[in-house]
Amino acid sequence: MPVSAVDCVQPAIQHTREQLFTRFRFGQWTRLALVGILAGELHVGGCNFGNFGQLLSRPPKRSNEFMAAPFPHIDPARIAQFAGLIAVIVLLTIVLFFVFLYISSVFRFILFESVLRRECSIGEGWQRWHRTGKRFFLWQLVYVFSTWLFFGLLVGVPLFIAAAAGWFKDFKQHVAGMMGGLILLFGIVLIFALVAAVVQALAKDFLVPIMALEDLDFADGWSRLFGLMRGEPGKYAIYLLLKIVLAIAAAILFGIIAIVPALVVIIPIVISVVVGIAAGLTWNVATVSLAVIFGTVAFLVLAYLIALVSAPATVFFPAYAMYFFAARYPNLGALLNPVPAPPAPEAPPVLESPPLPSPPLPPSPEPIG
């Protein structure tokens, strides 16, 4: 009997407890934190270091100047001065995005195996799942470009129609139409974002196990998954809704815990910014480059520290997906809940045979004489 989404919560909690706490191993904990980041399981938000750059834009002339001008005037001539640096940063960001997308595709399988077998090995996992990860990377590319293209058309076509109709030239006469169009567009974008999030969740939770255990490409994997989902789509919908609730609860819990590592990283940055302002640093190529380098390092350190304290969530959510899917996918169920081998039959007792009678002694010779 397939278990419901609610029934899978307790086994996933027990799985997490056994893997991380029953046999606590600091090395595995740190490796799981790294795997969680590289698999894209950690979502770091709210860490915006851009405001610190505004504090370095120009030296203060009054003690309260940085509070009075949160959005300082930007000189176009100074922007042109940084045009080359901005272009390099944009190009590097795009390249790093696709590099990370490739790495995360492989590490998604490493995370799957680490949770399934309760043992994390990054080097061996990379060698084992590199080929399958490349197939999942192709799916990630299809997903990314499809969402970008669809979103561009979703926003660009209405704007083009509005511009062609002259709504932007005579805005006051078309306020009602513009507001109605914006509301409709917002609703369509919201629905599209929800569908995209559902597709991504299905890929991470269910497509990955199918590709891993059956050695399929992503097209055949999706076909196999749709065949499994066809019989009970409502239970999968309840699973996704419950996962959203659990994700919100986990974000609140580990967000509170993450305050400590966040302070460890942010306080030194704030002190450095204050010292830089007091020293009269200006916004030039050198300070921009240093800000980018140290800001990137600080972000990576902060992300890893948050992943370190959030390792239970990194294990729990893949385990939750496994226990739900294992009841519907026999290949996974056989590995997650192996049937114990029957005990070997006891050998029948060996009956000891009675001792054989000793052979009769030959008669002793009669004495002579």
Contact 299, 266 (CB under 8 A): no
pLDDT of residue 10 exceeding 50, the answer is: yes
CA dist., res. 20 & res. 39, Å (int): 19
**Token pair belonging to 25:** 């191993």
Residue 217: predicted pLDDT: 92
pLDDT of residue 66 exceeding 60, the answer is: no
In this prediction, residue 82 has a pLDDT band, given cuts at 50, 70 and 90, of: low
Residue 367: predicted pLDDT: 55
CB-side neighbour CA atoms (13 Å) of 64: 1
User: Among 15-24, 34-43, 103-112, 313-322, which stretch is predicted with the lowest mean pLDDT?
Assistant: 34-43
223-251 confidence digits (pLDDT tens): 999 999 998 999 999 999 999 999 999 99
Helical spans, DSSP H, in the chain: 9-16, 26-38, 50-55, 65-68, 76-81, 83-117, 122-164, 175-202, 208-214, 218-229, 233-257, 259-278, 285-309, 311-326, 330-336
Residue 253: predicted pLDDT: 92
Dihedral of alpha carbons 7, 29, 98, 132, sign: negative
CA dist., res. 195 & res. 197, Å (int): 5
Q: What percent of the chain has a predicted confidence (pLDDT) above 70?
A: 79
Residue 351: predicted pLDDT: 55
325-368 confidence digits (pLDDT tens): 999 999 999 998 776 656 656 656 655 555 555 555 555 555 55
182-212 confidence digits (pLDDT tens): 888 888 889 999 999 999 999 999 999 999 9
* pTM summary value: 0.76
Residue 50: predicted pLDDT: 35
Q: What is the mean pLDDT of the chain?
A: 82
In this prediction, residue 48 has a pLDDT band, given cuts at 50, 70 and 90, of: very low
Mean pLDDT of 31-44: 84
Q: Could you identify the residue written with the tokens 């080359």? A: 84
pLDDT of residue 47 exceeding 50, the answer is: no
